[in-house]
Amino acid sequence: MQTVTLVPKEQFKISIEAELITPDNFAGKSNTEIGVLIAYEGNTPRPLSELFDIKVDGSAEGADDVKIEIKGSVPRVKRIGEGMTGGRILIDGDVDMRCGAKMKGGIITINGNADSWVGQEMTGGEINVQGDAAYYVGAGYRGESCGMRGGKITVFGNANDFVGEHMCGGEIIIKGNAGILPGVSNKGGKIVIYGNTDMPGSEMTKGTIIVKGKVADLMPVYQREGIESIDGEEFIKYVGDVIVGGKGELFVR
Amino acid sequence: MKLNATFISGRTVDQGCNLENKTSQAYFNAAGYCEMNSTDAGKIGVEPGNNVKVTTDFGTVVVPLKICEGNPDGLIFVPMGPWANAVVDPDTKGCGMPGFKGIQAEVEATGETAPTMPELMDRLK
Amino acid sequence: MSELLIKNATVYDPINGINGDKMDIAVKDGKIVDSIGGGAQTIDAEGRLVYPGGVDAHTHIAGSKVNIGRIMRPEDSRSGIKPRTKITRPYTGYTVPNVYAMGYRYAEMGYTTAFEAAVPILKARHTHEELEEIPIIDKGGLTLFGSNWMVMDAIREGDQERLAAYVAWGLLASRGWGIKIVNPGGGEAWGFGKNVSGLDDPVPNFEVTPRQIIRNLAEVNEKMNLPHSIHLHCNNLGVPGNYKTTLDSFDICKDIKSKRDRQSLHVTHVMFNSLGGNHWGDFESKTDVISDYLNKNDFLTVDMGQMIFGNATTMTADGPVQYRNSTTFKARWGNGDVELEDTSGVTPLYYSPQVYFYGVMWAMGLELALLTKDPWKVLLTTDHPNGGPYVNYPEAMTLLMSKKKREEEIAKITEKAYDRWHISGIERELDWYDIAIKTRAAHAKVLGLVEQGKGHLGIGADADIAIYDIKPDETDATVEYDRVKAAFRKAAYTIKGGQIVVKDGEITATPMGRTYWVRTKVDNDGYNRMMDDLKFKFKNYYSVNMANYMVQDEYVQHPVVVETEYAEV
Amino acid sequence: MIIKDVLCPFCGCLCDDLAVEVENNKVIDVQHACKIGSSKIMGHDRIKAPMMRDDKKGEFREVSYDEAINEAAKILANSKRPLLYGWASGVCEMMKKGVLLTEEVGGIIDNTASVCHGPSALGVHEKGMPTGTLGQFANRADVAIFWGCNPVQAHPRHMSRYSVFAKGFFTTKGRKGRKVIVVDVRKTDTADLADEYIQVNPGMDYIVMSAIRAIIANHADVVPDNVGGIPKEKLVELAETLKSAKFGIIYFGMGLTQSRGKYKNIDNAVSLITELNAHTKYSIIPMRGHYNVTGFGNVCAWETGFVNAVDMSRGYPYYNPGETCSNDLLMREEIDAAFIIAGDAGAHFPAQSIARMGKVPVVQIDPFHNPTTEMANIVIPTKVSGVELEGTAYRMDGVSLRMRKLVDVDFPSDEEVLDKIIAKVREIKGASS
């Protein structure tokens, strides 16, 4: 087991692009080897040791045995955990955009809030956001046909608009409210929203959306199919989006 | 008395004519006003030329009133420009575009004067 | 000026009949010369393969269609990224590269000339803006005339002089090289959401048939003595059974003779127009019939339009086809109608080998090239980026050179395709000389660029030269295709106009290339009749003024203008 | 002297039929233009010379071009996250240089579209854009829908030249043969000219479009009695009208791009258009604002592969509105220098964004004093493109035309200033590396 502890040396103003912070990149590396890895502060390359106090305990053969602990809030550090295949990242505070993008495995836990595109295009693994998430939880990149394809994202607070846009698989749980158009254009996967939302499931062709709170406006593209019980709770089941011949299932109370 | 309204901003011919003349009184006249219908104006007891104070979650601005009967009840319009910008929503909604339209606002009569363009900008330095 | 000597080259120069000769090539002031003095910069080719710089007679590299593809597909632009260096600007994109990658990647493959195959006159300024930004390679554009109101009105009224005058004016206005005809008449029909169904289906409201459009433009092309023949994208593209339309389209030009040493008809990406069957259920390859026609007739040439599995961005002036593609495959749809002139469409597609009709179409391009005996008649293209991006030419080259490679690919294709094609039984494997024909010599000949010094290495030719890290004597392409493909993908040297622009597959210099266009003198009454009609149309129908329409000289900074003259034959 | 066939350097209509009378190198009359175009060409008070100040609250002092350019280059070369914004009221030739400068300084280049039709591009990423040139619509369209746009105010000659009153080959009756429908949240002057005005509640455009799509897809059964303030029967009637066209066209504006849902409104509108093409011919086109804002999108796309909001900080382009647009960055207080050219951020950004500009060095390149000037440290005046400089501009439909020069002035062009800044930046960066 290898534990890498990163303590930010300052509250960064300009966001740091740090796609290098992954268990895969850190596995088996010493403090010095990790310290010389390059992140970008805007246009300026910065060795990680300039940005963080780095401590490495133990060693690991592969990503699965690596735990990265970021001690402190990093609301201006982007792309943490990008493409990781295993291991754990624990962020003790907020995190910037695209955390866990293209993630394949492992677990990221964010004790604070996550900025937009958390879990963008992820295919596996798990992300837990203890606070709120901004826009595009588990969504895709502009123009891609699929956002999230697998894995699980749980947001314990609220999420903003476009949760799971273009989602093709996996699961997103929002314990609080979600903004407009969750699950827009999705082709698979499951979204559960415990709180309120607006216009869920537009252009959904496949997949499931369950809304336990209120829906401000239901899209006028869903065929009502009757009442169905999920885990002991009764929901109205809708199927659509009928315009696109969708077979998506939308459960609303 | 306050009017709860939906705020939108947008282009006008006169605002366009003065795009390269923004230090002028003409630009103030073209972009520094708030439009609503006469019913709404009556609700808060203002007449054309009176100043109104527009307040949103994002700021406050004082501008003179104009009447436009094309506006439905509860819809106010301020031409795009520094006066509108004082109250628009800066959140870009994940797509780069701030909220220039569809913002909840309160409008009330006021005795305060409307700021000039340089005065508005000075607040931001 | 600069001198360069390439020693110990194994040269394939089909236009001059050189087939693997060991020789030196001397370069002076950008041209191939007989000999040069000592002290010149010398490259020792050490017996490696030397071709004339590659020429691409049909590709979509510039203009509004390409740019709509880029704007529509940020996900494409984020692939193929290469950061800027001291020499190069950043590369982006795969199917729709940015202008820099567009030029660099051609040069890296040893290509030095590429012609944009569809230029609407009204948007030609945009095309040239992009062409001007594409580094290194020489360029030209083919101008769309197939659904143009001026063209159709002149044809309906039987006024061929007026037609010629307009074509000349349109080539001047667009700074174009030749006549492109796409789905003749269909572009106008698409103005109201319709199409033409065949060669004798009159264009709505204009009462001319696609047959008349093709025939008249082909005749006018020869009277104008243009360097290139008409360049035809047939009606009914992508429709099962369309091979019959294609054969009929061939026949229209059978008796037309050119004064020049070239075809009188070039039919492009003919793979997409060689479809048999009546519907997608019984769809099959009819390349055997098309190739048989090509084997029996010498008046025409075609290009493959080879399909490459994976991502493509389809873009064509064939608007109705793109609407059909986008709705069938639920893909994004860009449409671009051009008032009075034509239309266009852009749709991203993904060609999977597990989809049988894509599997068959992949085979069909190869079949055309392999079943047609004369290598000069079928050019290697992918109709970039319709069949796939041009960076896959080395893939297509090696598929033609190796049956083993073909078998390897066939194994990846769904078996549902197997009884619909002819590829399995084809033994033919092309050699180094054939490939030189199919990737440069024949392209230059078909375009009419040989006399401009393109596609060959004779004395006086442009010193556009590709040296590949292949020793033909020691290389068996039928088995070593992976190595050959890698070598074709990244030239050891590319020399453009005598300057080394690529070394070991990397860009070393980025000079600006030239743009070729044709000015034809049409000195008869037809010109006056044409101008009256043109002024009327500008006054009443165009949304721009005539004075602002024509591409200005500022947009063609390095022109090569070829002059011709109209004459009755 | 009367100069004919002059292009108008104001809105995306890019009218090319103006006649401008010039005497003694001064414009004295403009014919055929609208009030705005005429006002623009007749001209306004100029910034006379380059100016600088350290304290944004202090007075400017006049400086030489060399001094201003050198200082501007220093600011850019020493920044970690410079924003280069504007790029609308200029010709394409300067935009190409803008992309190069952004590469050189590792900055972000963003065009005024990000507060205008940027969401339209995001809609194109989702669904494409079935469109055409304006003459196509003039010649063919018998149904014209204006959704969230108000050309009477924003594009004054659009209706006469292209969309409403224009006559063409198949539209010989002009206005009489054309059904004009306006959909908006308030009864605009354009709505007054329409055959039909449909009022939608603010922020409900998306859902209304979906309802129309459902009706067209023969699923009227799932549409409730009222959607977004519009009775269902009205929507059914509208769907029939849309389908009955020989050639229909939707013109849309910031009523869609700036309202709730933003780019999703465009996404939905494009789907509506695509589905209508199963019945008859339909097109859609954004009503672009600046005369050459469309040009920037084109230049940026062919140079970088992306249409706008391109971050070059890593030496290659990265694009992601929501992350790389001016207001995304300004609101996050990431920007450490701003370079504003041919666009007025000060007048058209939310106050909080501008407040960020108040805290960092701001360089402005512009002929005119405007709110950005109030926030600037360095101001470099240049030629007015299309009046004092020729060059390329793209009409809202992507037709590019060459702007004419009408008068000579001593100011440098944007391109010349950019060239000098690029050279200086290279010198500074070369010396430090």
The reply to whether residue B72 touches residue D186, judged by beta carbons under 8 angstroms, is yes
Q: Mean pLDDT across the stretch D159-180? A: 98
Q: Touching check for B34 and chain D: CB below 8 Å?
A: no
Which residues in chain B touch residue D149, judged by CB atoms under 8 angstroms apart? none
Helix, strand, coil abundance in chain A, percent, nearest 5: 10, 40, 55
Helix (H, G, I), strand (E, B) or coil at C261: coil
| CA neighbours closer than 13 Å in the CB half-sphere of residue A161 | 15
Chain B: give the shortest CA distance to residue A15, in Å: 16
Counting CB pairs under 8 A, whether chains B and C reach 3 or more, is no
Q: Is the dihedral of CA D346, D350, D356, D359 positive or negative?
A: positive
Encoded tokens for D339 = 């370079």
Report the chain C residue with the minimal C-alpha distance to residue D282: C193
Report the chain C residue with the minimal C-alpha distance to residue A244: C330
**DSSP-assigned beta bridge partners for residue A55:** A5
Q: How far apart are CA A27 and CA A60, in angstroms?
A: 5
Task: List the single residue in D34, D202, D327 with the smallest CB-CB distance to B98.
Answer: D327
The confidence score (pLDDT) of residue C8 equals 97
Q: How far apart are CA C402 and CA C256, in angstroms?
A: 37
Interface of B with D in 52-111 (CB under 8 A): 58-59, 68-72, 75, 77, 80-82, 85-86, 88-102
Which has the closest alpha carbon to C559: C226, C261, C101, C172?
Answer: C172
**Hey, what amino acid is at C97?**
P
Does the structural domain B2-122 have CATH classification 2.40.40.20?
yes
**Element (DSSP H or E) covering residue A7:** strand A2-8
Which residues in chain A touch residue C78, judged by CB atoms under 8 angstroms apart? 141
**Element (DSSP H or E) covering residue A55:** strand A52-57
The pLDDT-based confidence of D433 (bands split at 50, 70, 90) is low
pLDDT digit string, tens, across residues C314-342? 999 999 999 999 999 999 999 999 999 99
Q: How far apart are CA C58 and CA C381, in angstroms?
A: 7
Q: How far apart are CA D203 and CA D72, in angstroms?
A: 42
Instruction: Specify the DSSP class assigned to residue D325.
Output: S
Burial letters for C390-415: b for 16+ Cβ neighbours within 10 Å, e otherwise? bbbbbbbbbbbbbbebbeebbeebee
Name the average pLDDT for chain D: 97
CB pairs under 8 A between A and C: 12
Q: Is the dihedral of CA D333, D335, D337, D341 positive or negative?
A: negative
Q: Mean pLDDT across the stretch D39-51? A: 95
Phi, psi of C142 (to 5 degrees): -100, 130
Report the chain A residue with the minimal C-alpha distance to residue D208: A220
What's chain D's length in residues?
A: 433
Q: How far apart are CA C24 and CA C457, in angstroms?
A: 11
Helix, strand, coil abundance in chain D, percent, nearest 5: 40, 20, 40
Tell me whether residue C310 is exposed, middle or buried, using C-beta atoms within 10 angstroms of its C-beta: 0 to 12, 13 to 18, 19 or more: middle
The confidence score (pLDDT) of residue C306 equals 98
Q: Touching check for A43 and chain D: CB below 8 Å?
A: yes
- Check if the beta carbon of residue D316 is closer than 8 Å to that of residue D106: no
- Decide if pLDDT at C37 tops 90: no
- Decide if pLDDT at D432 tops 80: no
Chain D: give the shortest CA distance to residue B30, in Å: 12
Percent of chain A predicted with pLDDT > 90: 100
Task: List the single residue in C75, C90, C123 with the smallest CB-CB distance to D316.
Answer: C90
The reply to whether residue D106 touches residue A43, judged by beta carbons under 8 angstroms, is yes
pLDDT digit string, tens, across residues A135-175? 999 999 999 999 999 999 999 999 999 999 999 999 999 99
Interface of A with C in 94-153 (CB under 8 A): 141-144
Q: Touching check for A145 and chain D: CB below 8 Å?
A: no
- Decide if pLDDT at A110 tops 90: yes
Phi, psi of D8 (to 5 degrees): -90, 120
Alpha helices (H) in D128-262, listed in sequence order: 134-140, 151-154, 158, 189-193, 205-216, 232-243, 254-257
Chain D: give the shortest CA distance to residue A230, in Å: 24
- Decide if pLDDT at C523 tops 90: no
Is the bond leading into A75 cis (omega within 30 degrees of zero)?
A: no
Which has the closest alpha carbon to C366: C282, C266, C438?
Answer: C438
The confidence score (pLDDT) of residue C1 equals 53
Which residues in chain D touch residue A116, judged by CB atoms under 8 angstroms apart? 322-323
Question: CA D160, D161, D164, D168: dihedral to nearest 10 degrees?
Answer: 120
**Hey, what amino acid is at C131?**
L
pLDDT digit string, tens, across residues A1-51? 999 999 999 999 999 999 999 999 999 999 999 999 999 999 999 999 999
| Optimal mutation site among D80, D232, D260, D339, interface A, most CBs of chain A within 10 A | D80
The confidence score (pLDDT) of residue C411 equals 97
Chain B: give the shortest CA distance to residue D42, in Å: 11
The reply to whether residue D154 touches residue B16, judged by beta carbons under 8 angstroms, is yes
Which residues in chain A touch residue B93, judged by CB atoms under 8 angstroms apart? 135, 160-161
The reply to whether residue B93 touches residue A116, judged by beta carbons under 8 angstroms, is no
Q: Domain residue spans in chain C?
A: 144-451
The reply to whether residue A142 touches residue D80, judged by beta carbons under 8 angstroms, is no
The reply to whether residue C74 touches residue D305, judged by beta carbons under 8 angstroms, is yes
**Element (DSSP H or E) covering residue D222:** none
| CA neighbours closer than 13 Å in the CB half-sphere of residue D163 | 30
| Optimal mutation site among B61, B87, B97, interface D, most CBs of chain D within 10 A | B97
Q: How far apart are CA C63 and CA D94, in angstroms?
A: 19
pLDDT digit string, tens, across residues D373-400? 999 999 999 999 999 999 999 999 999 9
Report the chain C residue with the minimal C-alpha distance to residue A140: C75
Q: How far apart are CA C5 and CA C21, in angstroms?
A: 16
**Element (DSSP H or E) covering residue D18:** strand D18-23
Q: Mean pLDDT across the stretch A186-206? A: 98
- Check if the beta carbon of residue C524 is closer than 8 Å to that of residue C568: no
Q: How far apart are CA D2 and CA D19, in angstroms?
A: 6
Q: How far apart are CA C322 and CA B98, in angstroms?
A: 35
Name the average pLDDT for chain C: 97
The reply to whether residue C333 touches residue D121, judged by beta carbons under 8 angstroms, is no
What's chain A's length in residues?
A: 253
Task: List the single residue in D79, D125, D322 with the smallest CB-CB distance to A135.
Answer: D322
| pTM for the structure as a whole | 0.98
CB pairs under 8 A between A and D: 97
Which residues in chain A touch residue D203, judged by CB atoms under 8 angstroms apart? none
Q: How far apart are CA C475 and CA C33, in angstroms?
A: 29
Instruction: Specify the DSSP class assigned to residue A42.
Output: T
Phi, psi of C231 (to 5 degrees): -125, 105
HEC string for C331-384: CCEEEEEECCCECCEEEEEEECCCCHHHHHHHHHHHHHHHHCCCHHHEECCCCC
What ipTM does the predicted assembly reach? Answer: 0.97
D-contacting chains (≥3 CB pairs under 8 Å): A, B, C
| Optimal mutation site among A17, A40, A144, interface C, most CBs of chain C within 10 A | A144
Helix (H, G, I), strand (E, B) or coil at D95: helix
The confidence score (pLDDT) of residue D88 equals 96
Tell me whether residue B59 is exposed, middle or buried, using C-beta atoms within 10 angstroms of its C-beta: 0 to 12, 13 to 18, 19 or more: middle
pLDDT digit string, tens, across residues B38-90? 999 999 999 999 999 999 999 999 999 999 999 999 999 999 999 999 999 99
The reply to whether residue D214 touches residue A220, judged by beta carbons under 8 angstroms, is yes
Q: Mean pLDDT across the stretch D242-250? A: 98
Is the bond leading into A241 cis (omega within 30 degrees of zero)?
A: yes
Q: Mean pLDDT across the stretch C415-440? A: 97
Which residues in chain D touch residue B117, judged by CB atoms under 8 angstroms apart? 371, 374
Burial letters for D392-403: b for 16+ Cβ neighbours within 10 Å, e otherwise? bbbbbbbbbbbb
Q: How far apart are CA D401 and CA D15, in angstroms?
A: 10
Q: Mean pLDDT across the stretch C468-472? A: 97
| Optimal mutation site among D302, D313, D402, interface C, most CBs of chain C within 10 A | D302
Q: Touching check for C349 and chain A: CB below 8 Å?
A: no
Q: Mean pLDDT across the stretch D276-299? A: 97
Q: Domain residue spans in chain B?
A: 2-122
Encoded tokens for C185 = 């008449």
Q: Is the dihedral of CA C480, C481, C485, C491 positive or negative?
A: positive
Q: Domain residue spans in chain D?
A: 45-115+291-432, 118-286
The reply to whether residue D320 touches residue A142, judged by beta carbons under 8 angstroms, is yes
Q: Is the dihedral of CA C97, D118, B94, D321 positive or negative?
A: positive
Which has the closest alpha carbon to D94: D287, D348, D427, D343?
Answer: D343
Residue listed under structure tokens 């993630």: A103
Q: Touching check for A45 and chain D: CB below 8 Å?
A: no
**DSSP-assigned beta bridge partners for residue D364:** D340, D379
Does the structural domain D45-115+291-432 have CATH classification 1.10.287.3510?
no
Q: How far apart are CA C545 and CA D197, in angstroms?
A: 33
Alpha helices (H) in C441-542, listed in sequence order: 442-447, 481-489, 525-540
Q: At what angle do helices D205-216 and D232-243 cross, to 10 degrees?
A: 60
pLDDT digit string, tens, across residues C383-405? 999 999 999 999 999 999 999 99
Which residues in chain D touch residue C542, judged by CB atoms under 8 angstroms apart? 135
- Check if the beta carbon of residue A117 is closer than 8 Å to that of residue A97: yes
Q: Touching check for C73 and chain A: CB below 8 Å?
A: yes
Q: How far apart are CA D239 and CA D245, in angstroms?
A: 10
Does the structural domain D118-286 have CATH classification 3.40.228.10?
yes
Beta-strand relationship, D82-86 and C300-303: unpaired
- Decide if pLDDT at D204 tops 90: yes
